[in-house]
Amino acid sequence: MHRMKMYEHYSLKALNTFGVAVQARYFCSLRTLGGLKSVMLWRREHPELPVLFLGGGSNMLFIADFPGLVVQVGLEERRLLAEDKDFVYVRAGAGENWHEFVRWTIAQGYAGLENLSLIPGTVGAAPLQNIGAYGVELKDHFYELDALDWRTAELRKFSLEDCAFAYRDSHFKSVEPGRWLIAAVTFRLPKQASWKTNYAGVSEQLAGKTLDARTISAAIISLRQSKLPDPAVIGNAGSFFKNPLVSAAKFAALKANYPNCPGWVQGDQVKLSAGWLIDQGGWKGKRVGDAGTYEQHALVLVNHGQASGAEIWQFAQRIMAAVQEQFGVSLEPEPNLIGG
């Protein structure tokens, strides 16, 4: 059996995009499913310890050291699985870098994932919060995934329905967090592409251009680079809060006081802009110690250098309290809060 190298008191500073200096009590890196057997044997001897699956660490805020085992999922694989008249089916291992995978699909001539270009992280974590950007969500092109039950080592397939995808949410995030290790994801990409370019900013970037997946991807990359801080330069996890959903009556009441308040109807609810709400309190570019908001985008919390996860979380809670007080709206963090 493949023996897994187990590290103790392992620094996670370089493995989370906030760049907070925390440690894992135990740490291992999983490169093959074969290696999993040895991790599960080890785990049987330490049943009391919590386990955390780690991809690129771009959607987590570590509030404290992690007292258990961190398993970095590095399973790599990319291939065309099948095709029919209308679709190609491509499969990617959980450890594949998301953006590299998107680039690969485009290079193969497959369309569908171009609007999701440049989202940091891994393929395996992408279903957790049903990643989305510029009018497209992972669920729009998802076919199925393979996941391993961490308690029994059973390998199971999850269909689109099983995953219960919703806005920045899934079965794996809110119903059974930590139970399933996602090993590989299969996408169903259309042979006849239909582009989604009517999103603010995207249509302007593409005006006058002939549309194809490569061109749209380039426009999305340039938009993202102009708006979002690069975690390699300044620690962050992208948008820190979800856009809140409120009732139509609540939205009408907000509009009466704040005529410019943006909102998008979603069924019988209205989605507000978390960024707009935060901006109204003058939070853009604010800073307490090394924790702050990005100067171009109040929705993005940043670590200017030495902030701890607890300090960033305290800062986030101040924003949440201010928005609650001014608008009576609750903000919910988007990244996974670990520890504390």
Residues assigned a catalytic role: 168, 239, 334
SS3 326: helix
- Give me the least distance between CB of 151 and ligand FAD, in Å please: 14
Q: Residue 187, SS3?
A: strand
List CB contacts of 159: < 8 A, sequence separation 6 or more. 144
Beta bridge partners of 301: 293
Contact residue for ligand FAD among 4, 28, 128, 272 (CB under 6 A): 128
Burial of 165 (0-12, 13-18, 19+ CB in 10 A): buried
Q: Tell the smallest beta-carbon distance from residue 207 to ligand FAD (Å).
A: 23
> Who's near 324: CB < 8 A, 6+ residues apart?
330, 331
Residue 293 binds to ligand FAD (criterion: CB under 6 A): no
> CB–CB of 7/49 below 8 Å?
no
In sequence order, the 6+-apart residues with CB closer than 8 A to the CB of 298 are 275, 278, 279, 283, 284, 285
Residues of this chain, 159-218, that bind ligand FAD according to CB under 6 A:
172, 181-182
Going by C-alpha positions, the residue among 139, 148, 170 that lies closest to residue 59 is 170
Region near ligand FAD per CB under 6 A, out of 99-107, 119-127, 213-221, 278-286: 119-127
- Interface of this chain with ligand FAD, residues 7 to 46, rule: CB under 6 A: 17
The answer to whether 238 contacts ligand FAD (rule: CB under 6 A) is yes
| 126 lies in the binding site for ligand FAD (CB under 6 A) | yes
The candidate with the shortest Cα–Cα distance to 290, out of 314, 257, 266, is 314
Interface residue with ligand FAD, options 23, 58, 105, 293 (CB under 6 A):
58
Binding piece for ligand FAD, criterion CB under 6 A, among 213-221, 231-239, 281-289, 301-309: 231-239
Among the listed residues 93, 124, 263, 292, the single contact to ligand FAD using CB under 6 A: 124
Q: Quick check: 53 binds ligand FAD (CB under 6 A)?
A: yes
Does residue 319 bind ligand FAD (CB under 6 A)?
no
Let me know: does 244 contact 331? Beta carbons within 8 Å: yes
Gap between the Cα atoms of 324 and 274, Å rounded: 11
CB nearer ligand FAD, residue 132 or residue 263: 132
Burial pattern 188-204, b for ≥16 Cβ within 10 A else e, equals bbeeebebebebeebee
Closer to ligand FAD by CB, 228 or 291: give it: 228
Candidates 2-10, 20-28, 31-39, 51-59 — which segment interacts with ligand FAD by CB under 6 A? 51-59
- CA–CA dist 42, 71 (Å, integer): 12
Residue 132: CB minimum distance to ligand FAD, A = 5
34 CB neighbour count, 10 Å cutoff: 11
Q: What is the largest CA-CA distance in the chain?
A: 66
Segment interacting with ligand FAD (CB under 6 A) among 33-41, 114-122, 153-161, 262-270: 114-122
One-letter identity of residue 40:
M
Residues in 61-80 at the binding interface with ligand FAD, rule: CB under 6 A = 73
- The answer to whether 122 contacts ligand FAD (rule: CB under 6 A) is yes
Identified binder of ligand FAD from the candidate list 93, 112, 120, 309, rule CB under 6 A: 120
Residue 246 interacting with ligand FAD (CB under 6 A): no
The residues of the shown chain that bind ligand FAD, judged by CB under 6 A, are: 17, 52-60, 73, 94, 119-122, 124-126, 128-129, 131-133, 172, 181-182, 228, 231, 236-238, 336
